[in-house]
């Protein structure tokens, strides 16, 4: 039956209808014929029996009276029925009494012995009818009835049935064809529509609903389905369009790859990044452009993606034809279809070349000085430690040169930062010229350079290089059409003789450099044990300082009075710290203040000075000795000034000591203020708002800009002792001093001149109308107790 489904629907339809009709007619007909046959046979049998019964009854008298002629004549009456073949009458002794044949041929004799019952033999029925009279059996009637007519009737019926079947066949074929037309046409309509849609991709087509039955409903359902498909196709299209748009606009390259590793889609950005003009190539072709260093990890990631569906992100470089490298990040993951089966891979390609270059630059910045291109402190330290390790291993010498420019700060301040930068670049260039390729020049900060010389044979070689450097650097440099002469101080240390670790070597070189500075600059110094000892002295001082800060008794404040140069009146005093460590002589501030500055101990010391001064002056004030308009000046170091807790500390101190704000004056050096001018102005304003006076110390050494000076909320300018010192010998200094005083007056500032030691100086200052003076000529710094006497004496004198 496998051929059945292959048949056309119309064939099946027509075939089944016709077949069903014919079978129905056939079955009905044969059932009818069979029934008819049985019924006819029964009827005939009954008729014949009745006939036999009649004849038997009629024949009783003939039999009783032995009238065979009459009996035969009775039998002849049966001839009226054409189907009776023969009839016999037997008497009570079962002897044939009479018989008659109704056919002329094939006559059979009467059966010898009559049966009791009716017998059907093939084409005929034999009937035995007992003949009774008054309940006594007097004979038997035998009849044979032919059933030929029944067969004939059956044949006729068959012919008739065949005719009917033929007519049914024709009729059912016509009906089936019509039905097929009714059924198949709408289906065909739908099929044609579906085919057109498939061929033309036009989902707006619709099947015509020709009928109102279920097929019409089917067409409706089909159309509804089409609408749905159209809708979804449109939404799919718009989604795809969205994706396409996104993909076009995306700043990253997008690619899709099928399971055969064929690139099936890329956007323009991808082409731009990869430079592959024919993008639909094999994946291998693309990945083959990755530089060797990144290729292995990329292929590994890709095989993991293919096998374990593990998404990956790799950073790779693509080698370009011009040998440049385009840096990219490839991200890829698998694509699943709606059934969750992987059908490809999708990924993004980002061009991170700029980022990578920036990173490289950052790395350069981390290890190189952007200005000079020299290695920076970090790289230098690394090189130094490697060089030390190398020298230990190979038993060779290395030399470390620590170089500091002598006039850099001055040049930077006077010529501007650009000029300073130019100078640094020039110095770097010169340094590189002076050394071998294998040596390292580094700029480790500001104007500090180091030179690391490896594989040194003798100190003589180092000596030679140091001289060469000094000579080269001392050559004039032209910056902004100005000739600048710059020198440097160089400290040299050798390893392993001076030390075999980086920290020691750096400290040694630093010390040696300071020694060179101390020796008048523009020279070099080898590190020596003496230097080391001095260094040890520094450390001792720092240690003692810490101890003294804890005890506080070791510090004393000396006050150096200031007087009004016109009226000779006492106007205040500068508080100066003195240190007398336990069981030792007084140590000069010149010795311990730099150490305190460097170690940060200046902050607690400064606080102590401020508090102590306030307390002592408050006492004098309470005693009525300290004049109300006089001020005590306390020095603020740079560290203190930049301490965020400065203002709070000032307030607390004034509050604790009960010292009036008006008598406090803070002295800040010019260079402290110039480190960060804007911040300095803000801090000064805060101090000023508290009511504390501010004086600029050491004025004239810090190259202050007049514009800044105007903005500083200050009250007093202190002319540096270096200018006063040379009066009247140095005319320049005199002129400067005069100019400073004049300028201060223009800015409504009062001027204090310090370091007055001679009357000539005093007279000069007076003649230039300098308001106040301070110095040995007036009074040396003295303890608070002595100050009492001085003030009292001065007040008496005036």
Q: Which stretches of the chain bind another protein, using CB under 8 A?
A: 57-62, 64-67, 70, 74, 133-134
Helix, strand, coil percentages in the chain from 3-state DSSP, rounded to 5: 55, 20, 25
Report the nearest approach of another protein to the CB of residue 122 (Å).
35
Question: How many other CB atoms are there within 10 angstroms of residue 171's CB atom?
Answer: 12
Smallest gap from Cβ 100 to another protein, in A, equals 16
Min dist. Cβ of residue 61 to another protein (A): 3
Smaller CB separation from another protein, 68 or 677? 68
Q: Per the structure block, which two tokens stand in for 236? A: 């799919």
CA distance 336 to 4: 41
Residue identified by tokens 């100190």 is: 459
Which residue, 192, 172, 132, 186, is CA-closest to 25?
172
* Strand-pair category, 716-719 with 750-753: parallel
Name the minimum Å distance from CB 59 to another protein: 8
Q: In what order do the strands lie in the sheet with 342-351?
A: 263-266, 253-258, 342-351, 325-336, 312-319
In the complex, minimum distance from the CB of residue 118 to another protein, in angstroms, rounded to a whole number: 24
Least distance (Å) from another protein to the CB of residue 46? 23
Nearer of residues 90 and 514 to another protein, judged by Cβ = 90
User: For residues 13 and 61, which CB has a smaller minimum distance to another protein in the complex?
Assistant: 61
CB atoms within 10 A of CB 376: 19
Measured distance CA(291)–CA(200) in Å, rounded: 48
Which CB sits closer to another protein, 66 or 288? 66
Nearest to 525 by CA among 466, 471, 475: 466
The set of residues, in sequence order, having a beta carbon less than 8 Å from that of 585 and lying 6+ positions away, is none
- Closer CB to another protein, 59 or 350, in the complex: 59
350/250 Cα distance (integer angstroms): 10
By C-beta, is 62 or 650 nearer to another protein? 62
Q: State how far the alpha carbon of 257 is from the alpha carbons of 30, 276, 283, 299, in Å.
A: 73, 15, 8, 15
Query: Rounded to the nearest whole angstrom, what is the least distance from the CB of residue 74 to another protein in the complex?
Result: 7
3-class SS of residue 101: strand
Q: Helix (H) and strand (E) counts for the chain?
A: 25, 26
Strands 342-351 and 325-336: antiparallel
Pairing of the two strands 84-91 and 136-146:
antiparallel
Question: CB-side exposure of 43: number of CA atoms within 13 Å?
Answer: 7
End-to-end CA distance of the chain: 145
Query: Minimal distance in Å, beta carbon 93 to another protein?
Result: 15
Nearer to another protein, 69 or 546 (CB): 69
Q: CB nearer to another protein: give 64 or 674.
A: 64
For 140-159, b/e burial (b = at least 16 CB within 10 A) is bbbbbbbbeebeeebeebee
Shortest separation between residue 62's beta carbon and another protein, angstroms:
5
Minimal distance in Å, beta carbon 137 to another protein? 15
Nearer CB in complex with another protein: 137/735: 137
* 134 versus 437: smaller Cβ distance to another protein: 134
Query: 765 to each of 268, 695, 798, how far by Cα in Å?
Result: 81, 18, 20
CB of 83 to another protein, least distance (A): 25
Pick 68 or 299: Cβ nearer another protein: 68
Nearer to another protein, 60 or 472 (CB): 60
Task: Give the three-state DSSP class for 200.
Answer: helix
Cβ contacts of residue 399 below 8 Å, gap of 6+? 452, 453, 456, 459, 462, 492, 493, 494, 495
Taking the complex as a whole, how short is the minimal distance between the CB of residue 121 and another protein, in angstroms? 31
Report the residue number, 66 or 79, with the smaller CB distance to another protein: 66
* CB 66 to another protein: min, Å: 7
Judge whether 699 and 740 are in contact, CB under 8 Å: yes
Which residues fall within 8 angstroms of residue 301, CB to CB, at 6 or more apart?
310, 312, 314, 332
Shortest CB 91 distance to another protein, Å:
14
When the beta carbons of 70 and 722 are compared against another protein, the nearer one is 70
Beta carbon nearer to another protein, 68 or 250: 68
Give the shortest CB-131-to-another protein separation in angstroms: 11
Minimum distance from residue 26 beta carbon to another protein (Å): 52
For 565-691, list the strands marked E by DSSP: 570-579, 631-636, 664-669
- CA-angle at 581, arms to 580 and 587, nearest 5°: 50
Q: Which of 455, 448, 454 is nearest to 491 (CA)?
A: 448
By beta-carbon proximity to another protein, the closer residue of 66 and 210 is 66
Q: What is the 3-state secondary structure (H, E, C) of 371-399?
A: CCCCECHHHHHHHHHHHHHHHHHHCCEEE
Phi-psi region of 456 (alpha: psi -120 to 50; beta: other; left: phi over 0): beta
Distance separating alpha carbons of residues 221 and 229, to the nearest angstrom: 12
Q: Three-state SS for 41? A: helix
d(CA 154, CA 224): 59
- Nearest approach, Cβ of residue 133 and another protein (Å): 7
Q: Is the dihedral of CA 594, 598, 601, 606 positive or negative?
A: positive
Helix locations, 275-332, DSSP H: 283-287, 292-308
* Closest CB to another protein among residues 45, 70: 70
- Closest contact distance (angstroms) between CB of 108 and another protein is 27
- Residue 275: CB atoms within 10 Å: 11
Closer of 59 and 180 to another protein (Cβ): 59
């Amino acid at each position: 039956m496998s051929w059945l489904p292959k048949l056309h629907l119309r064939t099946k339809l027509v075939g089944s209808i016709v077949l069903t009709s014919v079978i129905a007619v056939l079955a009905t007909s044969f059932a009818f014929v069979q029934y008819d046959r049985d019924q006819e046979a029964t009827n005939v049998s009954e008729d014949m029996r009745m006939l036999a019964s009649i004849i038997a009854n009629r024949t009783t008298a003939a039999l009783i009276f032995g009238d065979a002629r009459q009996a035969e004549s009775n039998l002849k009456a049966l001839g009226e029925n054409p189907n009776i073949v023969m009839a016999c009458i037997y008497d009570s002794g079962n002897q044939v009494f009479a018989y008659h044949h109704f056919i002329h041929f094939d006559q059979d004799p009467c059966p010898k012995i009559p049966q009791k019952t009716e017998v059907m033999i093939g084409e005929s029925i034999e009937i035995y009818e007992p003949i009774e009279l008054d309940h006594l059996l007097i004979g038997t009637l035998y009849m044979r009835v032919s059933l030929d007519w029944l067969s004939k009737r059956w044949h006729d019926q068959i012919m008739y049935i065949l005719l009917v079947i033929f007519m049914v066949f024709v009729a059912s074929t016509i009906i089936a064809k019509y039905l097929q037309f009714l059924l198949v046409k709408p289906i065909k309509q739908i099929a044609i529509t579906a085919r057109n849609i498939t061929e033309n991709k036009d989902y707006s087509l619709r099947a015509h609903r020709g009928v109102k039955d279920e097929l019409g409903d089917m067409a409706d359902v089909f159309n509804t389905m089409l609408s749905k498909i159209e809708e979804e196709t449109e939404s799919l299209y718009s989604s795809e369009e969205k994706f396409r748009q996104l993909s076009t606009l995306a700043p990253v390259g997008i690619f899709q790859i099928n399971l055969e590793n064929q690139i099936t889609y890329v956007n323009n950005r991808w082409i731009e990044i990869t430079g592959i003009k024919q993008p639909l190539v094999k994946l291998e072709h693309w990945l083959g452009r990755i530089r060797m260093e990144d290729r292995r990890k990329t292929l590994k990631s890709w095989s993991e993606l293919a096998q374990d569906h593990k998404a990956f992100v790799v950073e790779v470089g693509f080698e370009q034809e011009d040998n440049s490298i385009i840096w990219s990040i490839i991200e890829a993951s698998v694509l699943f279809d709606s059934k969750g089966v992987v059908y490809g891979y999708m990924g993004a390609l980002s061009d991170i070349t700029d980022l990578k270059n920036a990173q490289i630059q950052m790395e350069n910045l981390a290890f190189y000085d952007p200005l000079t291109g020299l290695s920076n402190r970090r790289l230098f330290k690394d090189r130094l430690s490697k060089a030390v390790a190398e020298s230990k291993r190979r038993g060779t010498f290395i030399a470390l040169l620590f170089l500091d420019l002598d006039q850099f700060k001055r040049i930077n301040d006077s010529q501007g930062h650009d000029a300073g930068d130019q100078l640094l670049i020039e110095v770097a260039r010169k340094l590189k010229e002076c050394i071998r390729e294998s040596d390292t020049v580094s700029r480790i900060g500001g104007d500090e350079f180091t030179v690391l010389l490896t594989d040194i044979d003798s100190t003589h070689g180092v000596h030679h290089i140091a001289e060469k450097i000094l000579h080269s650097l001392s050559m004039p440099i032209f910056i902004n059409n100005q000739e600048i002469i710059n020198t440097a101080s160089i400290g040299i240390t050798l390893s392993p003789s001076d030390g075999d670790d980086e920290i020691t070597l750096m400290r040694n070189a630093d010390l040696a450099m300071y020694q060179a500075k101390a020796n008048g600059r523009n020279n070099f110094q080898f590190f020596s044990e003496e230097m080391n000892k001095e260094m040890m002295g520094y450390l001792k001082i720092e240690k003692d300082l810490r101890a003294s800060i804890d005890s506080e008794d070791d510090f004393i404040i000396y006050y150096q009075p200031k007087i009004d140069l016109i009226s000779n009146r006492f106007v205040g005093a500068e508080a100066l710290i003195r240190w007398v460590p336990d069981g030792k002589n007084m140590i000069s501030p010149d010795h311990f203040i730099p150490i305190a500055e460097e170690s940060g101990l200046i902050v607690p010391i400064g606080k102590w000075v401020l508090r102590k001064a306030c307390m002592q002056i408050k006492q004098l004030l309470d005693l009525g000795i300290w004049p109300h308009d006089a001020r005590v000046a306390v020095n603020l170091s740079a560290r203190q000034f930049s301490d965020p807790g400065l203002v709070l500390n000032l307030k607390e101190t004034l509050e604790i000591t009960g010292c009036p704000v008006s008598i406090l004056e803070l002295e800040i050096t010019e260079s402290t203020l110039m480190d960060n001018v804007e911040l300095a102005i803000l801090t000064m304003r805060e101090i000023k708002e508290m009511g504390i006076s501010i004086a600029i110390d050491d004025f004239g050494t810090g190259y202050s800009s007049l514009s800044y000076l105007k903005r500083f909320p200050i009250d007093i300018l202190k002319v540096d002792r270096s200018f006063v010192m040379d009066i009247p010998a140095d005319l320049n200094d005199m002129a400067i001093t005069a100019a400073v005083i004049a300028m201060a007056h223009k800015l409504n500032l009062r001027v204090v001149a310090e370091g007055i030691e001679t009357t000539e100086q005093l007279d000069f200052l007076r003649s230039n109308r300098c308001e106040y003076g301070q110095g040995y000529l007036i009074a040396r710094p003295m303890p608070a107790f002595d100050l009492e006497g001085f003030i009292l004496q001065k007040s008496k004198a005036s």
